[in-house]
Structure 1
Amino acid sequence: MRIKRSMGERTFDAVNAILLAICCLAVAIPLLYVVAGSLSSNEAIMHSEVRLWPVGFNLDNYDFVIHNAVFWRSFGVTIMIVVIGTAINMVMTLLTSYPLSKAWLGGRRPIMLFIIFTMIFQAPMVPMYLLIKELHLLDSIWALIIPSALSAFNMLLCITFLRSIPEELFEAARVDGMNEYRILWRIVTPLSMPINVTLMLFYAVGHWNNYLGPLLYVTDRAKQPLQLYLYNLISQFDMDSAGGESVLELSSRLTPQGLQMATIVVATVPVVIIYPFLQKHFIKGALLGSVKE
């Protein structure tokens, strides 16, 4: 049976559809322009002929990026930071969220207030830099991992999810002789897969897009991650970032704009490829708490 909808409901849906279409266009148009520019000829880019479709199809920019050792070195550093950092983030989040999700834990409220305090009031830039310096973490990937080892917001999401798991399940496991660590590994982790995948995506994208941390703490070019490489390439068109060629040799083959666009596309592709495989779990985790029984 089809329910007849009022004029107000149809108007509301139409306005929502129009607003969402405008938002999608606002996001898609810049992306299409970057992709089109990366595939266009040098002359078309220099004469501003590129809009949303490649003009004078050209793959020289991608050929240069693919054979650029500096780019792949930064890419490898970023992959290392994402893998190690996300693993540490997830371990810290689960080890913190599981006990704090138990109402019977003594001192739970002061601990949670202390962690939430760090979410509201964050350390200023200069004291944070001095702390990293005193810990001898400058020019190290650990300066980009340890300060963000635990996100208070993500921890609260995980606590909310773990509270939805029946406590009787944990009591039955304790009766069978399982300790809390085995319960966390054998029961909590498999059952909390939707929120785990969501948090992994949050943490991984955060590490992948981290720009301010490397800018402050990493000066060694051999250890600069991808976002700092893009900054040097886009804002300054640093020749060391571009692969060490002279300005004359580079300008005879490529334009800075085309090279920058191709680098941005290649740096964005991994996240775009991985997201569809995590979308199902991500949606379940994103809808956490929206429905109460």
Structure 2
Amino acid sequence: MVKTQNFIWKKQQSSKIRETPFDNLFNGINNVFLGLCFIIVLYPLLYIIACSLSDPKAVIEHRVTFFPVNFDLTAYKAVFANKDIGLGYLNSVIYVALELLSACLFRCCWHIRFRAKNFMEENS
């Protein structure tokens, strides 16, 4: 006869460490700072995307803000007309794959070496 156990999940007890008013102030200031950093990084990215999707004349005249003006894909046509872009992308993929492979091989060899060393010490 197989016995089964009934697991009773207890509610996790609350932490004994309480947040002080200084902790709340620090968290608030930290959240505002991180939000500003997010906006500072996000705005240029949105601007670049809007410029790439806008008419080149609108970009030169500084009429582009957050949204593309006179939607146009000539910038992408010019980029993809260049044959070196595909080759550069292929090189990037190859470099990443080789780096990943070499890192995994190195790590495996490193762990096997120390595993064998520990195994020999335990069994001697």
TM-score bracket, normalised by the shorter chain, equals: 0.5 to 0.7
- State the superposition RMSD in angstroms: 3.0
The answer for the alignment partner of 1:87 in structure 2 is 101
SS in 1 for 2:23: helix
Instruction: Give 5+ residue unaligned stretches, structure 2.
Output: 1-12
Structure 2 vs 1, CA of residues 80 and 2 (structure 1 numbering), >3 Å: closer, same or farther? closer
The question of 1:22 aligning with 2:36 is answered yes
Superposed displacement of residue 59, structure 1: 1.3
- 2:66 maps to a residue whose letter is L
Structure 2 vs 1, CA of residues 2 and 54 (structure 1 numbering), >3 Å: closer, same or farther? farther
SS in 1 for 2:108: helix
Q: Scaled by the length of structure 1, what TM-score is found?
A: 0.32
Deviations 1:44-89 (A, max 9, x none): 1112222332222211212332343221122112212221232122
Superposed displacement of residue 17, structure 1: 0.6
- Greater helix share, 1 or 2? 1
Identity of aligned pairs, percent?
A: 23
- 1:92 maps to a residue whose letter is F
The answer for the alignment partner of 1:62 in structure 2 is 76
| Count of aligned positions | 107
After the TM superposition, which segments of 4 or more aligned residues of structure 1 sit over 3 Å from their partners?
A: 1-6
Q: Scaled by the length of structure 2, what TM-score is found?
A: 0.68
The answer for the alignment partner of 2:4 in structure 1 is none
Instruction: Give 5+ residue unaligned stretches, structure 1.
Output: 106-166, 172-293
Structure 2 vs 1, CA of residues 8 and 40 (structure 1 numbering), >3 Å: closer, same or farther? same
Distance, in Å, in 1 between the alignment partners of 2:24 and 2:70 is: 45
The question of 1:51 aligning with 2:70 is answered no
Deviations 1:157-192 (A, max 9, x none): xxxxxxxxxx8xx79xxxxxxxxxxxxxxxxxxxxx
User: Which of structures 1 and 2 has the bigger CA Rg?
Assistant: 2
Distance, in Å, in 2 between the alignment partners of 1:2 and 1:90 is: 41
